[in-house]
Amino acid sequence: MEGLVRVAAAVPHLNLANVEANVRAHLDKLEEAKARHAGLVVFPELSLTGYTCGDLFFQSTLLEAVERGLAVIREEMPEGLTAVVGAPLRVADGLYNCAVVIGRGRIYGAVCKTCLPNNGEFYEKRWFRSGRELPGEANVTADVGGQAVPVGSGLVFTTADGVTIGAELCEDLWSPLPPSTLLALNGAEIILNLSASNELIAKREYRQELIRQQSARCLCGYVYVSAGTGESTSDLVFSGHSMAAQCGGVLKENEAYLEDDYLLTADLDILRIRADRMRQTSFGDCAAAWRGGVRRIALPNAVCLPDSAAADLSVSKHPFIPADRASRQLRCEQIFAMQATALARRMTITGGKVVVGISGGLDSTLALLAACKAADQLGLPRTNILGVTMPCFGTTDWTYQSALELMTTLGVSQREIPIHEAVRLHFRDIGHDERDHSVTYENAQARERTQVLMDMANRFGGIVLGTGDLSEIALGWCTYNADHMSMYGVNSGVPKTLVRWVIQMACEGEDFIASRAVLRRILDTPISPELLPPDEKGNIVQQTEDLVGPYALHDFFLYYAIRFGYPPRRVYQLCCLAFQEDFDRETILKWLKNFYRRFWNQQFKRNCMPDGVKIGSIALSPRGDWRMPSDAQAAAWLAECDALCASPK
């Protein structure tokens, strides 16, 4: 999979002040990282000596051993790796706490720590100077093992495969203006933090939040590795905490609270980082204002994961749905509150009355629940909501009874208006044979229902509430000028895979206790437009996912194709990882191509869609998040899908 960088956070067992032994431990970890296909390996702060050496940092014997040790790592480390190790370096007349960037045969640079803690348990200024104190920093070098090495606090490294890397050390992250911010604005896509952060009660959690937030603000991959338990425990204990984050999300983290002698690997997605930076205009504005003041250094090594290595990504099947129950429940509560609050605001402008078509399916149920919640918020009676069920040729007794029971238990006004005869009259008017169950047969029913709702809204003095969800809007799975149209689309920001969970949340809450039984019944109902007659047993025969494809796949495609602008090949690769136990390659490709075809050729429906509240990071309103001409052609995307279909398994 292109654009993945496997980074390794290496915490070797430390031999305090024994550089030679530490060098061997570093080389062992580098060999392990090579075997695990890592391209970039980062070690803790002052990893060659140990952070807690104290006044031993002034001993020439220790500093000379460091220089020899760096030379040994340079000559003996595996080919193709880039390592970043922690070491004290003498530069001019000062001593600096550095992150040294090394490849086989060469040291490429040394990044100096900028912010030196000198309070509480820390007194680094006793030994080290800030990188800001380097004279004429832009051109400073240090002699390390007979090699002139660029030294400074503003070094940016670009690999042979175009990945840009920056580094900072421990306290730098905790400062008001971390160096990583400026490095990211100057192109660094991966930030490495070499740290020796002692452990305190609740400090791990605070550290986690710092790293997560910095990766979010800088739209970068952030790899943090801290000194292990081999450091001196005279007054402190070190935990060996390591983690990798990306654009605000934690990818990997060591599990043990106190740990030593391990290697943690994670795959960073450079394409995701670049996609976010391209879309985030505020990042670009800041980059324009703060660009400059760095030295750029070329690294001859490539760091991206080779084709021969399998990606180590945890890809959720359901990117819109949190995996754990507590988070999912909270998410659904927030979504429902947003829907109800937005609708309540609209109702205050339009007279406080709403008309909803009730089919007994999931989408109309969620719309009706949101309307009830909005009325409750405004202190209006639920009879201000008119539910209209309009049975026709495809209506089953199961959904018909569900619709009636739902309206009754919610206490809304209700009407039943069968539309069989009206549709038959229309068929006669346009010369359509009722036995012809083509798209005309289906759409005539959908348009008749919308006409009824619009006219009932006039009589009732309210607005028609749309029920279509985000997934249907993406696929154009609605009849133009029928269920495509309303005065407010309360579900338009909710993907299909989330609709069920929001209803489940409402079912378990206290607001709709009287409706719990019917809500459970509706949750068990297959997704269907019910526009074709049921079978001889009265069962639904027209199931949407048989026609348009599984919504689990389509919501996955929607998230990665629209949120990140990924090409079909990347969407496909991620989907294969996520659904490897559920769908075969051919099935995924079939529905992926269908997604691109439908998304492009149904844009004309989105360009005139009603208002509707934005819920998450993806919305398709032409007035907000998605502006696309109806005439755009999908040829390039479909050609890539065809190429995937033709490629070897």
Catalytic residue positions, numbered? 45, 113, 170
In sequence order, the 6+-apart residues with CB closer than 8 A to the CB of 123 are: none
Q: Which amino acid, residue 525?
A: T
C-alpha atoms less than 13 angstroms from C-alpha of 514 in its C-beta half-sphere: 9
Phi/psi of residue 246, nearest 5 degrees: -150, 120
Q: Residue 296's closest CA among 96, 159, 141?
A: 159
Instruction: Please calculate the CA angle 510-516-522 and round it to the nearest 5 degrees.
Output: 135
Can you tell me whether residue 95 is helix, strand or coil? strand
> Cα 463 from chain centroid?
36
101: left (phi over 0), alpha (psi -120 to 50) or beta: beta
Q: Residue 423's closest CA among 451, 404, 400?
A: 451
Can you tell me whether residue 438 is helix, strand or coil? coil
Phi/psi of residue 468, nearest 5 degrees: -65, 140
* Dist. CA 640–CA 618, nearest whole Å: 23
Which uninterrupted H or E stretch holds 19?
helix 19-35
Torsion of CA 590, 592, 593, 595, to 10 degrees: 120
Is residue 457 a contact partner of residue 482, using CB atoms and an 8 Å limit? no
Can you tell me whether residue 203 is helix, strand or coil? helix
Q: What is the DSSP string of 532-568?
A: S---TTS-----HHHHH--HHHHHHHHHHHHHS---H
The count of other CB atoms within 10 Å of the CB of residue 472 is 27
* Dist. CA 194–CA 311, nearest whole Å: 25
β partners of residue 238: 198
Return the DSSP state at 84: E
Q: Which residue has the tokens 């019910």?
A: 530
Both tokens assigned to 429: 């008017």
Q: Residue 643's closest CA among 578, 567, 541?
A: 567
Can you tell me whether residue 412 is helix, strand or coil? coil
Is residue 261 a contact partner of residue 249, using CB atoms and an 8 Å limit? no
Give the burial class of 516: count Cβ atoms within 10 A of its Cβ; 0-12 exposed, 13-18 middle, 19 or more buried. Answer: middle
Q: Which residue has the tokens 């969800």?
A: 469
In sequence order, the 6+-apart residues with CB closer than 8 A to the CB of 39 are: 5, 6, 7, 80, 81, 82, 301, 302, 303, 304, 305
C-alpha atoms less than 13 angstroms from C-alpha of 175 in its C-beta half-sphere: 17
* Dist. CA 581–CA 571, nearest whole Å: 17
